[in-house]
Amino acid sequence: MMKWRTKITDLHAYVPGKTIDEVKKQYRLDSIVKLASNENPFGYSPKVDEALKNFQPAFTRYPDGHALQLRQKMAAHLGVDPTELIFTNGTDELIQIVSRSLLEPGKNTVMAAPTFSQYKHNAIIEGAEVREVPLKDGRHDLEAMLGQIDENTAVVWICSPNNPTGTYTTEQELTAFLDRVPEDVLVFIDEAYSEYVVAKDYEQALTLFRRYHHLIVSRTFSKIYGLAGLRVGYGIADRTIIQKLEPVRPPFNTNVLGQLAAQAALEDQTFIQSCRDKNRQGLERFYAFCRRNSLAFYPSQANFILIDFQCDSEEVCRFLLGRGYIVRSGEALGMPGTVRVTIGSEEQNRGVLEAIGAFLESRK
């Protein structure tokens, strides 16, 4: 018998949304639209293609472990110092690095429920106690989260906008919270969807890390930048925090192509703006549909919407799959009865809403 750590024996591997090919085969459909993983339906900036075309293949060499060029571009873009950044293999790896650095048996970590699954997953692997605080009206209940913090709390996770509800924490709520979290507790603010936000009272936590040294903000190239397959994420924090995390980071964690593509993507903010605008138009279309059909939903600041069907989520997903749309069942996300749909292109939105309409019709 192998000597597996007891903490991992009950863990399940992450189950990603079904792939397009799987669904095509299973349902014998020619065309499939995947609206399950909050990817960018508009792809990525043409500047990325250009950069990759001009790339001289040099795969025998290790990538720059320090991601110097990307680091400098990002620092200039954000107006931070290069030493205030850490680059990772997606946000997933930053969550892993932070967990590995701070969590262990005897410590605890506080998070919302439901929220992005990887905070809890990594905490369990590290053997820390997980303290989950139910969302209140789909939003982080910061007061109750504060109540869960004690002298053994090492990390608190805030996902804003939150996956799977799309809700956000306002600047005022966040600063009031940060004022009260002890300085020896790291607050991890996951801003994977921040570039989609249009709410005026949302403050990217980026502007706060100078004021609060117990804060790390995570961002990613997987969402609005459209580069999920290349795995580039990053963290922004006071350099004392970055210096602690760096030795835990695998030395060559972001690859050559990812670094190159991320730099090119960063340069094209016009593309980002247009994705943000189109996403907002798409969301409005979903809102109007839900209101017309008396379906409850959470107003979203992200590129997805959580709709409450008040019936078996799996049934909705199966129906939509049969019509060629892959969406995410709220059952798996800790919100039974709901379905999370990624906002697609105009045509995809029209199509999936038509299919949802047919589902509602079929239940009359």
The helix or strand, by DSSP H or E, that contains position 265, with its residue range, turns out to be: helix 256-267
Q: Does 163 bind ligand PLP (CB under 6 A)?
A: yes
CB of 114 to ligand PLP, least distance (A): 11
Q: Which one, 112 or 317, has the nearer CB to ligand PLP?
A: 112
Q: Are 336 and 330 in contact (CB under 8 A)?
A: yes
Q: Which of the ranges 86-94, 124-132, 306-314, 334-342 carries the binding residues for ligand PLP, by CB under 6 A?
A: 86-94
Q: Which of the ranges 28-36, 87-95, 291-299, 327-335 carries the binding residues for ligand PLP, by CB under 6 A?
A: 87-95
Q: Which residues contact 181 (CB under 8 A, 6 or more apart)?
A: 146, 149, 156, 187, 214
CB of 288 to ligand PLP, least distance (A): 25
Q: Does 264 bind ligand PLP (CB under 6 A)?
A: no
Spacing of C-alpha 295 from chain mean position: 25
Q: Which two tokens stand for residue 258?
A: 């990812």
Residues 26-85 that bind ligand PLP (CB under 6 A): 38
CB of 117 to ligand PLP, least distance (A): 9
Spacing of C-alpha 205 from chain mean position: 15
Pick one of 17, 41, 63, 90: the residue that binds ligand PLP (CB under 6 A).
90
CB of 231 to ligand PLP, least distance (A): 7
Which runs of consecutive H residues, i.e. helices, occur in 190-267?
239-245, 256-267
Pick one of 169, 220, 253, 342: the residue that binds ligand PLP (CB under 6 A).
220
The C-alpha angle 17, 20, 23, rounded to 5 degrees, equals: 85
Label the pairing between strands 85-88 and 233-237.
antiparallel
The residue type at 136: K
Residues 232-261 that bind ligand PLP (CB under 6 A): 233
Q: Which one, 159 or 236, has the nearer CB to ligand PLP?
A: 159
Instruction: Determine the Cα–Cα distance for residues 357 and 123; give it in Å rounded to an integer.
Output: 40
Q: Which one, 301 or 359, has the nearer CB to ligand PLP?
A: 301
Pick one of 32, 133, 192, 217: the residue that binds ligand PLP (CB under 6 A).
192
**Neighbour-count burial for 263-292, b at 16+ CB within 10 Å, e otherwise:** bbbbebeebbeebeebbbebbeebeebbee
Size of the site for ligand PLP (CB under 6 A): 13
Q: Could you list the residues that contact ligand PLP (CB under 6 A)?
A: 38, 90-92, 116, 159, 163, 190, 192, 220, 222, 228, 233
